[in-house]
Structure 1
Amino acid sequence: MDSPQSAHSAAAKTALRDQVRAARRRRPPDASAEVAAAVAEVALGWGPVRDAATVAAYVSVGSEPGTGLLLEALVAAGTRVVVPVVRPDRDLDWTVYTGPDDLAPAVRGLLEPSGPRLGVDAVRTADVVLAPGLAVSPAGDRLGQGGGYYDRVLPRVPAQTPVAIVLFDDEVGLDVPADPHDVRVGFVLTASGVRRLGPLEG
């Protein structure tokens, strides 16, 4: 049974998700295209991504900040890109991203490659992880979509591996409710740049 504190946190997270999703739906399509281009430029100029042999990323869908241009640029540069595939047990497997032509519709409105599955621990092979989300606090508390997938993924990422959440600028620095099991992220990547997160930030 959930404790009163965790129940309160869950309600607060739901309210914040609703708020951010509503704001995302109001963004004009042309602005989203500009953000996708800027996100790709920023990511490719960030040292951990620029120097990585393997990048763990994701295929954006809907109103998320677009990652398509970034994924294409990484593949074109010869970088190995792994992206998540949802398993029936609500965990995430991983597969190599080869291009948009290999994507197929999946659960929860996602798009997934059809290549061989690499296993849940494949994220450990990445030199940097780019994670989706809805908001982040100055301390690095990440608000996800509510499925709990990255609650399983992030604890598997080695401590020295940089993890950045990809967001719109106005989703950074929000008061994100956190539970003891939540894993903080060290960076946020937006169209404006990459920013380190942590207890001294803000």
Structure 2
Amino acid sequence: MSRADKDTIRRTAAEARRAQSDKRQLSRQVTDRIASMPQYAAARCVLWYVHVRDEVRTQDVLCEMLNESDREGKRIAVPYCDGDELRLFDLRGGDDLSVGAFGILEPRAERRGQADRMVSANELDLIVVPGVAFDALGGRLGHGRGYYDRLLSGVAAETVLVGAAFECQIVPEIPMDRHDVAMNFVATPQRLICCDNG
């Protein structure tokens, strides 16, 4: 498939996501589905994204996840932009965040440099991955800037990758390039798709 095919899928899926009603309720079903996965329960370090615009919403549950992580000994990390890369931050409370690049809540600049707050990609056991579109084989289409592609290429082979999507974002096929990394699972409000990408 050509770049034009990707652009068409991206545009169509983004429009469907924008038009999706009940985003808050459906997002909660997605995040609950992810949190109930045995792979999530077993993970010691989880990367969640902080949603922006029409993405599956995560902010409502992040504080709950942080409270639960205290009891379970689980670390919760969130990404932030540093040039063309995503850096990872050990999130411990909502006051760690402020508005950053692209209008996204990100770790406060003055806390990013603290050694005990830095997380490396190879420490992650599970990553919740945003996207514009996904397919049942784990194909993912982002916004085209490549931030997550670069991050995911550097994680450990056993790290579990879970796409978070509304059902309207699931398409028959995502054209995958050589550098694209497939998801192990895709969670929607209706189902957890186990992707046969191995």
Fold shared, TM-score > 0.5 on shorter chain: yes
Residue 70 (structure 1) aligned to one of 33, 36, 61:
61
1:48 equivalent to 2:48? Answer no
Question: How far 1:173 sits from its partner (Å)?
Answer: 4.2
- The within-5 A match list for 1:179-190 is 179-190=177-188
> What secondary structure is seen at the aligned counterpart in 2 of 1:156?
coil
Give the equivalent residue in structure 2 for 1:5: none
Preserved CA contact (<8 Å) 2:183 2:195: yes
Structure 2 counterpart of 1:116, one-letter code = R
**RMSD of Structure 2 on Structure 1 (CA):** 2.1
Task: Confirm or deny: 8 A CA contact 1:52 1:127 kept in the other structure.
Answer: yes
Offset, 1:167: 0.6
Match of 1:107 in 2: 101
- 2:4 and 2:95 map into 1 onto residues whose CA distance is 39
Among 137, 142, 145, the alignment partner of 1:144 is: 142
SS, match of residue 48 in structure 1: helix
**Per-residue deviation at 1:129?**
0.9
Query: Which of 1 and 2 has higher RCO (CA within 8 Å, sep 6+)?
Result: 2
Specify the alignment match of 1:3 in structure 2: none
Query: After TM superposition, which residue ranges in structure 1, 4 or more long, deviate above 3 angstroms?
Result: 117-121
Equivalent AA in structure 1 for residue 188 of structure 2: T
Between 169-178 and 13-22, the greater mean CA deviation after superposition: 169-178
AA of the residue aligned to 2:133 = A
Please list, as runs of the form range in 1=range in 2, the aligned pairs for 1:28-177 lying within 5 A after superposition: 28=21, 31-77=22-68, 78=70, 79-88=74-83, 90-114=84-108, 115-117=111-113, 122-177=120-175
State the Cα deviation string for residues 22-58 of structure 1 (Å, max 9, x = none): 1122123xx1110122123212211111222210111
Distance in structure 2 (CA, Å) of the matches to 1:140 and 1:107: 28
SS across alignment from 1:151: helix
Amino acid at match of 2:2: S
Cα shift at 1:121: 6.8
Query: Which runs of 5 or more residues in structure 1 are unaligned?
Result: 1-7
TM-score by length of 1: 0.85
The corresponding residue for 2:9 is: 16
CA separation in 1, counterparts of 2:81 and 2:128? 17
Q: TM-score, normalised by structure 2?
A: 0.87
Q: Secondary structure at the match of 2:50?
A: coil
Number of residues of Structure 1 aligned to a counterpart in Structure 2: 190
